[in-house]
Amino acid sequence: MDLISGADISWAISHIADPMVLLILIGGVTAGVLFGALPGITGVAGIAIMTPLTFTMNFEHAMALLLGAYCGGYFGGSIPAILINVPGTPTNAATALDGYPMARQGDADKAIALAVLCSCIGGLFSALVLSTLAPSLAKVALQFNSAEYFGLAMLGLLCVAGVSGDSLLKGIAAAALGVGLSTIGVDPVGGTMRFTFDISYLIAGIPIIPALIGLFGITEMFTKTLEIESFKISVLPPQNKFRLRDIIPIFLRNKMVTFKGSLIGTFVGVLPGTGTAIATWVSYGEATRSAKPGDIFGKGDPKGIIAAETANNAVTGGAMVPLLTFGIPGDPVTAILIAALLVQGIDPGPFFIAEYGNLFIFILLTLVLGNLFMVTIALSTRKLFRYFVKLRGDTLVPLIAVMSAAGAFSINNSTYEVMLVVILGMVGYFMLKFGYPMAPIVLGIVLGPIVEDNLRNALAVSDMNPMVFITRPISAGLIVVMAIMVGFWVYIKKRTGPNSDPADSS
């Protein structure tokens, strides 16, 4: 931990204790929980819409809002999954498997309390891992040069392309489209224009935040409009009374499930491009694999919720590791965070912890407090959730549109960003309907410049010798990892037939 001094720690503690920061953090957690709890709306869309609001804030306030929403959003998705069996994302589908049967048996309160406490444990565990792993990895990252960064960014793109969609080819095409969009504007090396078509707005390129709002917010809005007629909410039976202290024996009986869920979530989060859906399903799968006689997975077993929710929020700290050590975002939320950090004039990467040790500690403390606030807010207001999830789709659809437009306009007070949101939203909708995932496009836009700059730099310093990517051991290792991954996906594809989904199979 010699990258971080005592002064950094005291700076972070004094700033996190600022009442305004705490207030914004509570606001961020609440907003994240609310966005996640809206049936069919993901926490990612909420964070994308909120990001422009941070442009007028300082670093502490911006991080408090976004990291609060990050923690709250992942848990919030479990609320509609438990209460109305509508998992907003594949991530929360695992929670719905046992959460909804519990709610049908009159134990909705117990299921929600269990979900939020597990989310908190997972989040705190991953923050602990972040605090120990990130400084060590940052030291390793200081040895990296352009060849390694090119390899890492390519690995991130390949991972997200491989695991986030219905087919590897569509995932790769989506990632390529994202990188292609990132090339619009002035070429940073030669200074020539690329794909600007004499439109002055395009000279600066495609800004990431409107792209995120369009690809996640507007795309979801269109999808929801189409589904609105089939969207039915069933009524739960009268609910049992529940005391919070009844939870403790459940945790004591399931210590290993809690630990394994936290570990799996953190580890999956560290891998670039993976995300919460894989973490929760791997953790749930592990819990069912080690089931004991009497376990009733899928019929209202608390173990199912523990496995899914610990892994779910454990991803938050894990996904911050590649962001804060290599400057490589691992999922759409950390892609948003990288954009928010750049707006604050902070370049996340190998020098981040060495240069901004105080901000690193501040981020850690924000994650820890965010998780604790999430528990407090969710437990004290859990009885209100059953009313909130009944918010009608006809209100949600225009609400997303209004907030997306206001958020996009606030970036530069310009209609360019507003139009970009709607255009990318429409493109995203068609792509989604034809099975193209959104996450690789976003990661492509963010990682595109990193890929291109490092590819060109690596070749420039090696007199255009492409062997530079093979002769450097870490770069060669990354290429081998990518080759193994592609080989594995192709093998799975061949074993399971042409129509199967390699991502699902893996």
Partner 1 sequence: MFRHPDVLAGAVTLALGAALGLASFFIDINPNQTTLTARFVPLLIASILTLCGGGIIINGLRSASQPMPFLFSRKLLIVASFLLAFFLTFAFVDFRVSSWLLMLSTMYVLGNRNWRQLLWVPVAVSSVIYLIFRYLFEVILPVWT
Closest approach of partner 1 to the CB of residue 194, in Å: 5
- What is the Cα–Cα distance from 72 to 95, expressed in whole angstroms? 16
Return the structure tokens found at 12: 């972070």
Pick the piece of the chain touching partner 1 (CB under 8 A) from 124-132, 199-207, 221-229, 251-259.
221-229
Query: Contacting partner 1 (CB under 8 A), which of 6, 19, 190, 294?
Result: 190
CB atoms within 10 A of CB 464: 9
Query: Contacting partner 1 (CB under 8 A), which of 130, 211, 311, 421?
Result: 421
Question: Alpha carbon 386 to chain centroid distance?
Answer: 25
Query: Contacting partner 1 (CB under 8 A), which of 194, 201, 242, 346?
Result: 194
Query: Contacting partner 1 (CB under 8 A), which of 238, 245, 252, 434?
Result: 434
Task: Pick the closest to residue 213 from 443, 24, 418, 436 (CA basis).
Answer: 418
- List all residues 6 or more positions away from 318 whose beta carbon is below 8 Å from its beta carbon: 126, 129, 130, 265, 266, 267, 268, 269, 270, 330
The label of the residue with tokens 């089939």 reads 230
Q: Are 312 and 331 in contact (CB under 8 A)?
A: no
485 binding partner 1? (CB under 8 A): no
Pick the piece of the chain touching partner 1 (CB under 8 A) from 80-88, 311-319, 359-367, 451-459.
451-459
x/- binding map, residues 4-43, to partner 1, per CB under 8 A? ----------------------------------------
Size of the site for partner 1 (CB under 8 A): 66
Closest approach of partner 1 to the CB of residue 190, in Å: 3
- What is the Cα–Cα distance from 488 to 486, expressed in whole angstroms? 5
Q: Are 182 and 206 in contact (CB under 8 A)?
A: yes
Q: Where in 373-392 is the site for partner 1 (CB under 8 A)?
A: 392
Query: Contacting partner 1 (CB under 8 A), which of 328, 378, 455, 478?
Result: 455
177 binding partner 1? (CB under 8 A): yes
Classified as helix, coil or strand, 18 is: coil
Query: Contacting partner 1 (CB under 8 A), which of 105, 145, 225, 344?
Result: 225
Question: Alpha carbon 110 to chain centroid distance?
Answer: 26
Q: Where in 258-297 is the site for partner 1 (CB under 8 A)?
A: none
Measured between alpha carbons, how far is residue 150 from residues 147, 168, 328, 366 in Å? 5, 21, 10, 31
Q: Which secondary structure element, helix H or strand E, spans residue 339, and what is its range?
A: helix 332-343
- The footprint of partner 1 (CB under 8 A) covers 52-53, 56, 167, 169-170, 172-173, 176-177, 179-180, 183, 187, 189-195, 218, 221-222, 225-226, 228-229, 392-395, 397-399, 401-403, 405-406, 409-410, 413-415, 418-419, 421-422, 426, 430, 433-436, 448, 451-452, 455-457, 459-460, 464, 498-499
